[in-house]
Structure formats: structure tokens, C-alpha cells
Amino acid sequence: MRLGETTYLTTFQSLLSSRRQISTIDAALSASDAKLAQQQIAALLHSVSQIILGKNETVRLAIACLMARGHVLFEDQPGVGKTLLSQALAQSVGLHFRRVQFTSDLLPADILGTSIFDRESGSFIFHRGPVFAQVLLADEVNRATPKTQSALLEAMEEGKVTADGNTHPLPEPFFVIATQNPCSQSGTYMLPESQLDRFLMRLGLGAPDRAAERALLQGHDRRELLKTMSAALSTSDLHRLQGWVREVHVSPALLDYLQDLLAASRCAGNGLSPRAGLALLSAARAWALINGRAMVLPEDIQAVAAPVMGHRLEHAIEGQNGAETAQQLIEETPLP
């Protein structure tokens, strides 16, 4: 094993050890709680799928991202339902939703907020921006300049905003859904690796299949249906589910498999970081809970590998996109 790989693995083990102390990583989740979680998440999936037709797998992955306390990036053509999906997710769990349309003239203060002088008090008062929501839709995020894109870094990583030397905590839960258009389109600014790494998953919706498209054409306006949509879960239910995700058991053999994947990704060049390993582990836990299990299996890692690893391995192997590289790693890494 090369020195760089040894350093990466040591760092991953150190981060994992500290995360154990914080999130009770090895706490046992009962089988009954796992089944209850499966039923509640199934109700959530059914609710959202009434609005977003024919995309159950993508909706499940987005829900897994929410359960794992991550953020999701949708990369797709305009008009496939990215904004509608984010609104449906927020409404189905009763969360406060805000949308920001990213444009080339958008400033960081337009997102985070700004301090305005108040004559009566003789001091500056901070007026919170739209980032102070439980679900923030950053629509067409790559149409803003890199300076504005970076305004979300602290909020997404640490759940807080610092302005004028003061720290303002964001509401819990805090879930960012960002959309971006293909970088081949004019007027876009490619997201840097540091920004992409803040997203737990990168997903695409794509066009619906023929049956789902026919239902869309013949059915009611999905935005009108959204107005009548009731919450499938309460916010307290969501908090409980997020806590249960952290209690899903991970065996030593499964951690060996995860570390083998991380090590294999680095053989081709700049591979996955320890933070990416933690992201993959969290997503696999959430996927296991969605399927009603209190322990992670190798297929849980495989199910979320491409969405979690793809945008972090975009240029790892020349001639392959990140999803193809992730799939190759899954196929070549032996199972435990």
C-alpha cells in the first residue's frame, strides 16, 4: 500500500472514530423501529410520487439524502420537474421552503442576508436571507458566479451563517436542493470540486417514460395537485428517522469493503476523500433503513454508490464520467 493511501485510510478511521462518539454509530436499532421507519418512508414516497410520476428510484434516492442529513444536486435539462420535486419533498414533511433563482447578478447577501442600520437603536440589524429555511432550493445554481456559489459552503457544511463577525444558526433540519443545467449551455459557471463535495448526491430526473408522460398529459396540473398535498410525516417524525439512520448497524466486514472501495478509487489518481467515505456510509445507512433493515448490507453501498461517488470522480479516469467510474469500482471490488 502506498504512503498516500495509508494516510487517507488513517484519516478516515480517525474521522469515523470521532463520529462514533458524536452520533452513537454502533447503537443498536431494533427491528421493530426499522419496520416502522420503512412504513413511514413508504408513505412519504407514495405522497411525493403522486406529484412526480414514473421516477420512484430517483425520489427514493432524494429521500435517502434527506434522511442522511445531506444535500442533493439535480443536474438535468430544464422542465423535467426538479423544482416540483423539491417543493413536494418539503411539503410532504411540513418543512419551511424557500426558492432562490440563481442568476449572474446575484450577490452572496441576496442569499445569506445583510445588515441594515437602524436609526432608532443606532446599530446595525441583521436581516436574514432566504437561506434561513428548512428546505432551500438553489435553482440553476451554476448560472451564478463562483463568488455567489461559495456563499452556500458554510451553510451546507456547518449549518450556520457568519455575517459581520456574528454566527447565526440555521433551522433544523436544513436541506439544500440545488439544480444545475448542463455545463455545455451558455451562461453557466462550472461548480468547483469543493462545492460539489458538499452535496451528498448528484441525481438526474430525465424525461418520464411513455406511460408516465401520458398520465401527465391527461391528468391534472401537478402544481395544482401540490396545493392540495398534505404532509405524510411531521417534522418530529423526520427528526426521529434521521436519528435512526445513525443507529443502523455497520459490521467491521462492511467497513473493510467500504475502505477497499476508497482505496481502489485512489489507484487511478485523485480518488475519494475520507469525507466522501463518510458520505457513502451515511447514504448506505439511509438506504438500509428505507428498506426496513437495521444493518447495512453491501448492496446498500452499491445502490447509492453512483449518486454519491459520481460527482466526486468526474475526472478520475480519462474518457469516463464519474458514474461510469463508480460502477467500475463496484464491479472490480470484491465483496466481503
Contacts of range 185-192, beta carbons closer than 8 Å, 24 or more positions apart: 187/104, 187/143, 188/142, 188/143, 189/142, 189/143, 189/144, 189/145, 189/146, 189/149, 190/142, 191/73, 191/141, 191/142, 191/149, 192/146, 192/149
Question: How far apart (Å, rounded) are the C-alpha atoms in residues 26 and 252?
Answer: 11
Contacts with 298 (C-beta within 8 Å, 6 or more apart), sequence order: 254, 257, 335, 336
CATH number, position 181: 3.40.50.300
In a domain, 89, yes or no: yes
Euclidean distance between CA atoms 199 and 280, whole angstroms: 11
CA–CA gap between residue 245 and residue 326 (Å, rounded): 24
The predicted pLDDT at position 128 comes to 92
Task: Give CA 160 to chain center in angstroms.
Answer: 17
> What is residue 27's predicted lDDT score, i.e. its pLDDT?
52
d(CA 284, CA 298): 9
Is residue 72 within 8 A of residue 211, CB to CB? The reply is no
Q: Are 208 and 53 in contact (CB under 8 A)?
A: yes
CA distance 63 to 38: 12
Residue 256 pLDDT: 95
- Contact criterion met (CB below 8 Å) for 45 and 63: yes
Whether 129 and 107 have beta carbons less than 8 Å apart is answered as no
Cβ 242 vs Cβ 102: under 8 Å: no
> Which residues, 6 or more positions from 168, have their beta carbon under 8 angstroms from its beta carbon?
113, 126, 128, 132, 160, 161, 162
Q: Which domain holds residue 197?
A: 70-231
Q: What is the mean pLDDT, run by run of 10 residues, along the chain of 336 residues?
A: 48 48 55 92 91 87 94 82 84 90 91 87 88 92 87 88 87 91 70 86 84 78 79 91 95 94 82 90 96 95 93 75 86 87
- Residue 167 three-state SS: strand
Residue written as cell 428510484?
57
Angstrom distance (rounded) from CA 164 to CA 35? 47
The whole-number pLDDT of residue 154 equals 86
Question: What was the pLDDT predicted at 216?
Answer: 77
Return the sign of the alpha-carbon dihedral for residues 277, 278, 279, 282. positive
Is 168 domain-assigned? yes
Distance CA 205, CA 278 (A): 25
Q: Is 287 among the domain residues?
A: no
Instruction: Give the CA angle between residues 140, 281, 136 to the nearest 5°.
Output: 25
Evaluate whether residue 196 is within a structural domain. Answer: yes
Answer yes or no: is 85 within a domain. yes
Within-domain flag for 325: no
CA distance between the termini of the chain: 19
Can the peptide bond before residue 146 be classed as cis, meaning omega within 30 degrees of 0? Answer: no
**Domain presence at residue 35:** no
pLDDT at position 268 is 62
The verdict on residue 20 lying in a domain is no
Number of separate domains in the chain = 1
- The predicted pLDDT at position 21 comes to 40
